[in-house]
Structure 1
Amino acid sequence: MSQTPIQRATQLREQLERAAEAYYNRDEQLIPDAEYDALLRELEALEAEHPQLKAEDSISGRIGGRASGRFAEVTHALPMLSLGNAFSEGEVADFVRRISERLDLAECDLAFSAEPKLDGLAISLRYEDGVFVQGATRGDGSTGEDVTANLRTIGDIPQQLTGSGWPALLEVRGEVYMSRADFEACNAQARASGGKVLANPRNAAAGTLRQLDARVVAQRRLSFFAYATGVVEGGQLPDTHAGTLAVLQRWGFPVSDLCQVVHGLDGLLGYYQRIGQARDRLAFDIDGVVYKLDDKAGQQAMGFVARAPRWAIAHKFPAQEQTTTVEDIEIQIGRTGAATPVARLAPVQVAGVVVTNATLHNADQIARLDVRIGDSVIVRRAGDVIPEVVSVRLELRPPATTPWLMPQACPVCGAELVREEGMAVWRCSGELSCPAQRKEAIAHFASRKAMDIDGLGEKFIEVLVDSGLVRSVADLYAIDRDTLLKLKLILDAADVEAYVAALQPHLLPLNSGQALAQLLALSAADDWRARALALPVQVAWADKKIATRWADNLVAAIDASRRTTLARLLFALGIEHVGEATAKTLAQWFGDLELIRQLPWPLFKQVPDIGGEVARSIGHFFDQSGNQAAIDALLAGGVSVTDAHPPSARLHAGLGLAPLLVACEIPGITQKRAEALAAVVADMAALVDAEPAQLLASGLPATVVAGLTQWLEQGDNAALLLRAAQAQARLAALLPEEDPSAAGPLDGQTVVLTGTLSRLGRETAKAWLEQFGAKVAGSVSKKTSFVIAGSEAGSKLAKAQELGVPVWDEEQLLAWLAQQGVVL
């Protein structure tokens, strides 16, 4: 089914939020830059066409990522803006034309500073009287993270400016990056020591700069180029951008020697071609070039759009391509069971990186391309990150190749691979019994926006699952301190002997010899880590010889996650097509897990923005006995929903025989025809048992009645109708008696949460406020109805007080909720 604009916009925001959170806070790249840019452009176009869809905090208006909380926040005195992107010569021509028209200058007379677009981390450096005093990441453009101590370890960044004439206050913007040579040296050392191999120079630079230990930053050589200034007080800079860069260079800042002043469109495109040809020979990674109007007066006249200057643009390089050979096609099983074909390739360098595999997306894509084992294929690193097979070079195809077919069984668990009707994706039917899905499902369950079990990383999950100690998400709540400490020793050890040496000081004398012998016997096993963790080794930890606080914190995080909101739990379950927004919608409308888990899929369609595909996915999930058993185990393990409430009275509007018939998507049954049927039968049971003559009495065409009769005889359709009708009756009995059209007490009001709500928690508070009709925003403005301030409230509270916006504390919120009948 095609998506409505609001559904597509919501899906785009969720996908972009996930990608941005991983990129800016975990230094991971979930999707290619090119794909991210395309999704962002699609969202911006949707929001431009439908302005009512744009939320105040939409990612389309955001510059970078939010601060992670690991470092102190720094508010930029002058925002660190992002740049618009150009992907074609036509878009660059439009950029030049707009400036020419606005400034009333001939295009050939326009001077631009053209510079390489480094693939690193943007930072701002603050100097007072020539002395470096603070450095911060860009963050979301307004607020970044204080990484001053780490920046002091970078030799390229001057601690004291050289020369003379610098302003009393100077902010310098630039890019921290890791050179290709330093990246390779860093990874070579990691491989030799058994450490973490970094994915690419960009992630290496970002991850290094955001280390909590400055000594780690010093060990990994980072570099820096200056490219702009921020706030300047007590002095004056040249009136051109190129002149400013030259002055910065005299004051001790490194500036790329690839920066060049060019004129007009021809100058820009010529520079783009020259840098593109030299790209692979550069000492560092770039993903395009940047054009900036050189004249600062012209910059000021051009001004800004929401998040970018009108006088600058980034011209991105296209994805690079190479030819290689397909050595095999294997299947990877994802968190939701999606079976993704992956081409194993003869190693080839693409955009400076050795590529050994590439995604083939799905079986349909393989069929379209006709990719076969042994083929020579063109591989592209889309956005310079994720490789994909673009096409087959048929002229190089060897004889006797055969078309590839999707395997019938899951390569991980052996369960049948099935394909949903009308869907491109094949899935493993093993669901929670499939180890591949189990690991991904547990990682998702523990993630920050799900159950938020901070510290439970993928390596921990890998060994916990392989050892058999964790077979489902409920088993997480049985993990104890001993297990975690053993697990850390195991992961830190290069081999069994190293683990035994680390464990020996903590072993109890009783049976220690037998335990050591059992462990050493695993030395030849590939899965020794999992098997070692599974062994019942008795220990008494010598706390002075081992760090334990992290384990205590993780156990506490697991325990704290037992009390959660319904929306978080629904999202954590990993139901296909249920992202954060859909989980929140389900929680708001139905209010109770026990109700939701018993509803057949057509009833979920009574909720706005949930269509047939999503409703079927939710219903299918809860129809599986294994999933129900997993939920039972979670509840038995102490997991509880803190914000359960009766279903929304707004569901009254979707109740009745006719709406239910339409929701079941019976061929030919429109709303009008469903109402006609409802007029001639007493209830759903009567409809199922009705003779064709009775159905014809409703006035429906004979062909529609024949189709309905045939549909009822197929599979479990009749049983679905009866089950749905019974569930609808139970739902109706739970609905409040209030007028469903009545507005909620907070309808039309905008609320902002700030600080720590120690008793309620901000997620729970947000869920209740939205349940009563409020819009919960991320920033304070004159339109804010009131602010709820917990302990340690900061700038939002100050802003509210400045604007005269009413402020509640947590006790006032709790008292108000009690007045609404909420029992906590």
Structure 2
Amino acid sequence: MSNIAIKEQMDALVKELNQHNYNYYVLAMPTIGDYEFDKKLEELALLEKEYPALADPNSPTQRVGGDITKNFETVKHRYPMLSLGNTYNEQDLRDFDERVRKAIGSDFQYVCELKFDGLSISLTYENGRLLRAVTRGDGTQGDDVTTNVKTIRRVPHHVKGDKVPAQFEIRGEIFMHRAAFDRLNREREELGEVPYANPRNFASGTVKMQDSAEVAKRPLDCFLYFLYTDKSEFKTHWDSLQAVDNWGFHVCEHNRLVSNIDEVLDFVHKWEKERHNLSYEIDGIVIKVNSYAQQQELGFTAKSPRWAISYKYKADEVQTELLQVSYQVGRTGAVTPVANLKPVLLAGTTVKRASLHNANEIERLDLHEHDTVFVEKGGEIIPKVIKVNPEKRRPDAKKIVYLHNCPECGSELVRKEGEAVHYCPNDEACPPQIVGKIQHFIGRKAMNIDGLGDETIETFYRRGLVRHISDLYTLHEKATELSQIERFGEKSIQNMLKGIEESKKMPFEKVLFGLGIRYVGETVARKLAAGVKNIETLAAATVPELIAIDEIGTRIAESIVEYFSKPEHIRQIALLKAAGLQFEVEERTIVLQSEQLSGKTFVISGVFENFDREELKTMIEANGGKMLSGISGKLDYLVAGDNMGPSKLEKAKKLKIPIISETELMDMLGK
């Protein structure tokens, strides 16, 4: 195949994978399964390895992360990251315009931009290559989060084009799309974790995570909006925006060049109405004088530029009556209070319900029956009760007390020390927990069973066809009952049964995640599977043994031990095992070449010049060595490459474990 044909094949894969990423992360509407996506990514990675000169520098394969950052280095900004003066008042915008006119006359333009509700970031490029990404911090210095920012799909690692300076900084905002935020928050709630309040907090928390591989799984996006260079090739801000867009940066398409303050206000009014139709949050508009020469003439105050201002929209807030507080029981048994409200129009939608989060929030609000409450939907995606109007409280109103028993099954609720959430412990007989666990098990990230959906599981539960996960694997015995379900024809039944049969091939880590053990998310399940190899070892493990596994903490370990202490869980696993599900890691067949490393244990970390990690692992095992999942006293050697996680390095030094390079490993093998 010619290089032209190979390049076309690679470009087509990049385009297809980028579209799938967009569907998944931005729209939250995936059109391809994880397995199929991973296979296409693997195909692209192999082509890039074989033909590195043809590789796209912004390929999806470059966004997977993997490095661990224990402490973020503090970096001084070359150009201070000043905050903008802001206002909620249109007259203040006219006053700003008047000050500008007095200083530079009437011959100027403004650039109007959306004010993104995210995390400010500064990117430095040298010779077209991303050198550093630093947060705003205190405006003078911030945290170096380069490793994490490199995982964001819209941040180019390399740029090229006309007039690209040898060195430049570009400022922007990291944010998260609403649909992706909602999806990830639902996953947090399913794991019994407190949901993030808004996309900005989620984005900010993600950028400061220590494991860049985890950051890579979070759907972050980034708009870039201001270029800094020592000697600019551009005379105006608008020209620079067009240029950086051509260089490959993600520039907002809604920016507008206007001639006067009336056009600015038209832009402000337009987006006050239309902002709710965007896929991301904005909290206002930024107005900048366009000419760089005029910006320089206007100068700065101590805190902000005199040539720019932001107009902030007031958070949408309304008053309405609290009708009652109801309670939702999730898959893990977490009980969430919900305010049922007298319907009211808020941010373009009719709101009937709002989150109350937990018992602490009800106490903080001092909530009483039929209170008049203020509901907000500013930076919050889910409407939230923010305060009560005590002046409208009824004299005989009773204080709302968080319930003591599960609203679904009547079991006494429990609340662990240090946690805000109450739980129903009756996970084997509480209807929403049973249905939620089975829905989780069939989900795309777990067993990915085709032909089954959430509504179908609810129908099966109501009809008594399923009470446990294991019942899915006996549905083939209930053909008569299945055929009596409305809109569930022969073809649907066969597709479902085929999907259930195919799920028996899913690897141990997927089955483990599908069991729905509290705090055992997708990544934790993968770490556990690698650490214990089979379900019997996991079921028998103690808390200290579990904590010894890489990245498994006390809370997770205690939850696992508690899960396996229940006889019904053990019985269910036995039934699933009998049905043919995978409950051990499928070990690769290793052709033993020598016994040179027999009795020696290894951990591999970092990036290597001549081999990838999988190749090194295969070599070690082929010569009698054994791989461990984490740093411990049982380890003989840490094979260290570039950019390895500092926490692993520190732990290895503390335990006095020999740290060797790939060259030293080859010497041990006589290569």
Larger radius of gyration: 1
Question: Could you state the TM-score of these two structures normalised by the residue count of structure 2?
Answer: 0.50
TM-score by length of 1: 0.41
